[in-house]
Amino acid sequence: MTGRLDRRRFLQGVAVAGAAAPALAACSHSTDRNSVASNSKVVLPAYHPYGGARPDLAGDKAGLESGYLRYPAKPVESVAEKPGSGGSISAFTIVYAAVPPPVNRNKYWTALNRALGTDLKIQLTPSVDYQNKFSTLTAGGDVPDFVQVAGQQPKLPQLLAAEFQDLSEWLSGDAIKAYPFLANLPTDSWKATVFNGGIYGLPIPRAAVGPIMLRRDDILKAKSLAADPTSFAEFTSLCRSLTDARHGKWAMCFPGGALIFIQEMLGVPNGWQVKDGKFTSVLELPETKQAVGAVQSLVKAGCFHPDSFSTTINTKDLFGGGTVALHYDNYTSWGAYLRDYQKVSSSIDIGGMLPPSYAGGTKPVLWEGAPSYSLTAVKKGSKSHIKELLRIANWLAAPFGTREYLLRKYGVANVDYALNGSDPVLTDRGETEVANFTATYIADAPQVLYEPGKPAVTGKEYGYQQKAIPITVGSPTLGLFSDTDASMGGQLTTAITDVQHAIWQGHKPLSSWDDAVATWRRNGGDRIRKEYEQSYAKAH
């Protein structure tokens, strides 16, 4: 993840760096304290799943999410006492949309404070400002109680050791049973919290299915087009059929997302290829150059919106409004697009497209999402204060089907949401107060499939995951940390992105890709490779 942490640029970084997840992880050779040996001795929190609401569509251990067709009519109050002890708690998190109203004009925030038993003073930071503010915040020596650590941060192990609490005493093994909703978080998500021989934070769990190719099924149906191409040639034909520049319609608006999708068609591994302990970046693979050329052919065919290379393009409105019919985005955007744009057109219908085999001879893959979106570091403090912070995080991680989850995700009844049967549907006020309030980046429950009042959509999402999970491939850098990648990865990504755009726009030939990769290697790529190989060798 680069310095500017908006979702589109994050996905662009995925496309060029080949990393499906931020490498917030366990190992680095750069400091004795944060060694593979010390981290390998860490006892991760024991997994104790919470019974709770029984899903209508059962998940599995492979990563298929549980699906719920409706919210329980009688949600359980699962926390008997308020977790806070009065006073105030501070936090620092990202916000990706408009910052919600302050607490004195926000009934949701007021209700949340009342339920937590504390005054939650949360600094909601726009994504474009996150990196600068994070650097300033952590350099000042007086950090908030909770700090969202997103993306790769230079010298992260040292920063965590200096300013934040090792939580092993309270969370290792069965000790976590004192916080049952934190114990309900998947084991893999905790791997991103291990540094310096300890547990240095809380994960924000995410599903195995991450970014996917979304499609406007209503548009495809109206044009009688097949929704699932079986090759790149058929995908190209579909894109041509969806493009009608004279009437302001194009297939896509995000070339970087198309690149990932084509890499997946070609079976390109997730970020790095590892053979006998040797790492090869996906940038170096001939299949990636082939994919860059394939995107170039789609650009030449006019399949992309003319503003696709602009930094100010609003991809959300283009896809939601039907100007483009295909868009690469996080799978959680599926429901978000429907909630936002069905208000404008009730006929909008969205589906997910699986990558086909490029030409029939290669098994396609789907790059697995990060098991943890980010890390929440907890400021050092007295044992009593740490326990209070963990109680608050435990409340915030209350799972689907509880009253706590209902309040945290949907706000105040008849103010922020109205009931459709037993389903909470956000009001306009709720969209302002709740939807953009990122307390979920302090702590969160495991992800589930649920679209309030839209059980058919939940079923469709579940059906996609059933097909997607078997072809997902994870990143071999999960559990590794590269100082060079953390400090230089952003600028290396930007340089590669610039070359990609130049090739796609016809300013450079495809042959220039080889020189770009060689430059990437000289300017830091080979150092990143070496650091990952050293950590990998010690861990295996």
Write down the pLDDT at residue 23: 37
Percent of the chain with pLDDT over 70: 93
Of residues 309 and 38, the one with the higher pLDDT is 309
pLDDT in tens, 474-488: 999 987 888 899 889
Name the amino acid, one letter, at 381.
G
Of the pLDDT bands very low, low, confident and very high (cuts 50, 70, 90), residue 340 is confident
Write down the pLDDT at residue 479: 78
Rounded to whole angstroms, the Cα distance separating 136 from 259 reads 35
Write down the pLDDT at residue 80: 86
Strands (E), 238-320: 272-275, 278-281
> Looking at the DSSP assignment, which residues form a beta bridge with residue 209?
368
Of the pLDDT bands very low, low, confident and very high (cuts 50, 70, 90), residue 36 is low
Rounded to whole angstroms, the Cα distance separating 394 from 181 reads 5
Three-state SS at 371: coil
Rounded to whole angstroms, the Cα distance separating 172 from 42 reads 8
Q: What is the pTM of this model?
A: 0.90
Q: How many CB atoms lie within 10 A of CB 259?
A: 24
Is there a contact between 200 and 39 (Cβ–Cβ < 8 Å)? no
Residue 470 DSSP symbol: G
**pLDDT(137) > 80:** yes
Tokens representing residue 443 in the block:
């702590």
Three-state SS at 48: coil
pLDDT in tens, 56-90: 999 998 899 999 999 999 999 889 899 999 999 99
Rounded to whole angstroms, the Cα distance separating 47 from 56 reads 22
pLDDT in tens, 421-440: 999 999 999 999 998 899 99
pLDDT in tens, 343-378: 888 899 999 999 999 998 889 999 999 899 999 999
Of the pLDDT bands very low, low, confident and very high (cuts 50, 70, 90), residue 20 is very low
For residue 365, which of 470, 282, 259, 286 has the smallest C-alpha distance?
A: 470
Strands (E), 88-165: 88-95, 119-126, 146-149
Write down the pLDDT at residue 152: 81
Percent of the chain with pLDDT over 90: 81
The secondary structure element, H or E, covering residue 338 is: helix 333-341
